[in-house]
Amino acid sequence: AQTVTQSQPEMSVQEAETVTLSCTYDTSESDYYLFWYKQPPSRQMILVIRQEAYKQQNATENRFSVNFQKAAKSFSLKISDSQLGDAAMYFCAFMRANSKLTFGKGITLSVRP
């Protein structure tokens, strides 16, 4: 069974600064996907970024980028130039091909103006 661990329950960042959210996972699979989802107060689950395990290049989406370390089973999310709208719960998730998502417990990110 796969597990996803987000050990930091909450973090805070100053507006315009950079913050990194940590995530580790455990699996025996070699082909899989990793995701970060954002859940703002509206509770809608919004896809932030996606990484295929077979790709060595780290995914980037505008101000969001990941540091994917496959051997270490680590998948951290970096948010650059933090904005007030980034304040939310962030979930790391693992998925085998055509299968369910396994989520971490999430981290609450607050952004200080």
Partner 1 sequence: NAGVMQNPRHLVRRRGQEARLRCSPMKGHSHVYWYRQLPEEGLKFMVYLQKENIIDESGMPKERFSAEFPKEGPSILRIQQVVRGDSAAYFCASSGRGTGVQETQYFGPGTRLLVL
Chain residues in the site for partner 1 (CB under 8 A): 33, 35, 37, 42-47, 50, 52, 91, 95, 97-106
Q: Between 105 and 112, whose beta carbon lies closer to partner 1?
A: 105
| Rounded least distance, CB 103 to partner 1, Å | 4
Q: Between 72 and 97, whose beta carbon lies closer to partner 1?
A: 97
| Rounded least distance, CB 14 to partner 1, Å | 26
Token readout for 31 is 């082909």
Of 55, 45, 52, residue with least CA distance to 90: 45
Q: Determine the Cα–Cα distance for residues 111 and 113; give it in Å rounded to an integer.
A: 6
Q: Determine the Cα–Cα distance for residues 76 and 57; give it in Å rounded to an integer.
A: 14
Residues 6+ apart with CB under 8 A from 41: 88
| Rounded least distance, CB 85 to partner 1, Å | 18
Q: Between 5 and 14, whose beta carbon lies closer to partner 1?
A: 5
